[in-house]
Chain A
């Protein structure tokens, strides 16, 4: 099973700042990595797929990078609605796994 480790667990920033979230895989997942945003009480929403492709409706301030074992989600300038929990997930092989999440909170 591929373990995805996200860091930091919690990130405290202010609106307008840049956010950098990390996801590290225990073995290579190539670029089969996605990022999801989950707001309280809501279902997850796809942001980025295949490491660097924005999903339908994902704002341009969100970008993804990486391949192999190290991946980054960057939010260039935080909007109030961006404060949420973010999960990475791989589909390289079975079982599909998720990272434990990074909580992005308002400083």
Chain B
């Protein structure tokens, strides 16, 4: 059974940083592109970032490019999202998801809430 479990969310002040993690199990993690998708309170889904299976290619939404960095450790079956220079508009539930552009996003974690506020 495919399982994705995010961690690392929490409360942070504007300008602060957080690192999200996503532990994957139930599939061969090293053969899948992975993505982060977020959802602000009461709003729709917004793609944030994706990374290829071998980490060579990374992609970002304009809204986070230069502030967020996606990475992965295939030896630990873990996906990461380093978030710097956080702003209030980054407040959202962040979902880890299997897939990106080459393959459909097909499985999602339960999400982790990030709140940016002073």
Contact = CB atoms under 8 A, between A and B. Distances in A.
Interface of A: 34, 36, 38, 42-46, 49-50, 55-56, 87, 89, 91, 93-101
23 contacts: A43-B110, A44-B95, A46-B104, A46-B106, A49-B104, A49-B106, A56-B106, A87-B44, A89-B105, A91-B100, A91-B101, A91-B102, A93-B101, A94-B101, A95-B47, A95-B59, A96-B47, A96-B50, A96-B101, A96-B105, A98-B37, A98-B44, A100-B44
Interface residue tally on B, bucketed by range: 20 to 34
Interface of B: 35, 37, 44-47, 50, 59, 61-62, 95, 100-102, 104-111
Contacts of B95: 43-44
B62 A98 contact: no
A96 B108 contact: no
Contacts of A87: 44-45
